[in-house]
Amino acid sequence: MSDKVQSILGQVSRLYHRYGIKSVTMDDVARHLCVSKKTLYEYFEDKKDLVNQVLLTEHSGNSKLFDEILYLKLNAIEELFEIYKSIKKMIQDYNPSMDYDIRKYYPDLFMKIREVRRKTMFENTLKNMIKGKKEGLYRKDLNAEVIARLHLFRIESLFDNDLFSADELNSFEIFHELFIYHLHGIMSNKGREFYLRNFEKFRGSIE
């Protein structure tokens, strides 16, 4: 992907997150980029193609960020807190109308990107579970695959029902409680001891 296309996708992503997808037309994008619509269509077949590339590029960037965390050589609990900080930033940038527009106007893209996100999240959670068990920080008796699927289910459920308002989701309080719930459900006694010894450091990283 050329630097030009990456720049366009980054700028369009910010437009979509701010205004939603439906309300941002190709004319709006062209004006924002200070190019003609003809030039825009040299890079993208149509709006659907643009939306698709924006979503996949966002996912690729998030995946790269998580991969970088995995290479920091942290233990499983430290790793979770680093992932937590990254997800906190993503939720702060989250615009519910963007998800709504994808579901309603691009259902095939919604299903495609959901499967891509689901696969990545499951695999990363599973790796963390296995790592934590090997380190003795997570319960030896936990079923890593089941816990990874349950965690994925809980996160997806936050955005797939009307139990929580958009403001509540954006406040991050709900995800914070979900994270603490998940962490305390998987830690072994050794893991809890490590968590308590480093509580101040962890608390400072998520406030």
Q: Encode pLDDT of 36-59 as tens digits.
A: 999 999 999 999 999 999 999 998
Output the DSSP codes for 103-146. HHH-HHHHHHHHHHHHHHHHHHHHHHHHHHHHHTSB-TT--HHH
Rounded Cα distance, 70 and 197, in Å: 22
Q: Topology of 47-206 in CATH?
A: Tetracycline Repressor; domain 2 (1.10.357)
**Predicted confidence band at 96 (pLDDT cuts at 50, 70, 90)?**
confident
Q: What is the pLDDT of residue 91?
A: 73
For residue 187, the SS3 value is: strand
**Predicted confidence band at 204 (pLDDT cuts at 50, 70, 90)?**
low
User: Residue 112: pLDDT above 80?
Assistant: yes
**Predicted confidence band at 176 (pLDDT cuts at 50, 70, 90)?**
confident
DSSP annotation of 172 reads S
Most confidently modeled range among 63-72, 115-124, 136-145: 136-145
Q: Which residue bears the tokens 């919604």?
A: 110
Supply angle C-alpha 157, 124, 71, rounded to 5. 145
Residues belonging to the chain:
207
CB distance 57 to 14 below 8 Å? no
Question: Would you say the C-alpha torsion 150, 155, 160, 162 has a positive or negative sign?
Answer: positive
Domain ranges of the chain: 47-206
Q: What is the pLDDT of residue 202?
A: 79
Please compute the mean of the pLDDT values over residues 107-112 and round it to a whole number: 92
DSSP annotation of 138 reads B
Q: What is the pLDDT of residue 205?
A: 63
User: Residue 125: pLDDT above 90?
Assistant: yes
Q: What is the pLDDT of residue 63?
A: 86
Supply angle C-alpha 88, 102, 46, rounded to 5. 120
**Predicted confidence band at 99 (pLDDT cuts at 50, 70, 90)?**
confident
